[in-house]
Amino acid sequence: MITLTVNQQTQTFDADGDMPLLWALRDILKLSGTKYGCGQGLCGACTVHLDGAPIRSCSIPLSAVAGKSITTIEGLSDDGSHPVQQAWKEINVPQCGYCQPGQMMSAAALLAYNAMPNDDDIDNAMSGNICRCGTYPRIKQAIKNAAKSGQEQ
């Protein structure tokens, strides 16, 4: 049995410790917002927070997160009110949308660490999150908007 906290709720898994965290989230907990992309931790579609830091859930085994806290896109806010979620909606960031949960989780982690990132900070934090549709300019603008919104609160 492996116990961890997912979106502020204690969860116990009777699963193989080698199972990737992504599959525990999607298949066992039915949290389908976190996406499978490459399976190797290279594309960022599966990004979640581990104790507040962004990680690729497809390449980390369930046993490695025992006792830790995981936040998925579903746990970012109950009602879509997180500044990143609001900024994404305001400027209509997604095109196909598949990578956007991972993009948003990386952006939220950046803003939790650096409330007013510059372009280089954004580029560094978001590197490794691939968007096949090429919405990078809108992603960057949404992060800037979310930072401004966070400062106003």
Grade residue 97 by pLDDT with cuts at 50, 70 and 90.
confident
- The CATH code that applies to domain 83-152 is 1.10.150.120
Q: Where are the domains of the chain?
A: 2-74, 83-152
What's the rounded Cα separation, in Å, for the pair 76 and 100?
13
pLDDT tens per residue across span 1-37 = 999 999 999 999 999 999 999 999 999 999 999 999 9
Tell me whether domains 2-74 and 83-152 share a fold. no
Its pTM stands at 0.93
Which CATH number applies to 2-74?
A: 3.10.20.30
